[in-house]
């Protein structure tokens, strides 16, 4: 997706990833975010009132937050 010419990509950890694959998806996102990117990358986490959000955010912890306007 990053090479498609899109202005941004969204990495979705919520409903696009089955419960059994959440940890693998978090690792893949952390790996992707650790590299150089040429496109804005957003990460959609699980609901803030849920029990999986902290792990989702931890996968992105080395990246500064980007406020949505």
DSSP 51: S
pLDDT tens digits, residue range 4-22?
788 899 999 888 999 899 9
Q: Residue 31: helix, strand or coil by DSSP? A: helix
pLDDT at 61 over 70: no
Residue 10's pLDDT is what?
A: 92
Mean pLDDT (the chain) is 81
Residue 68 has pLDDT above 60, yes or no: no
Name the helix (H) or strand (E) containing 44.
strand 40-44
């Amino acid at each position: 997706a990053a090479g498609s010419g899109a202005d941004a990509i969204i990495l979705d950890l919520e409903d696009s990833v089955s419960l059994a694959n959440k940890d693998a998806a978090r690792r893949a996102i952390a790996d992707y975010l650790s590299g150089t990117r040429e496109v804005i990358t957003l990460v959609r986490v699980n609901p803030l009132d849920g029990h999986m959000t902290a792990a989702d955010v931890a996968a992105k912890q080395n990246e500064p937050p980007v406020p949505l306007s």
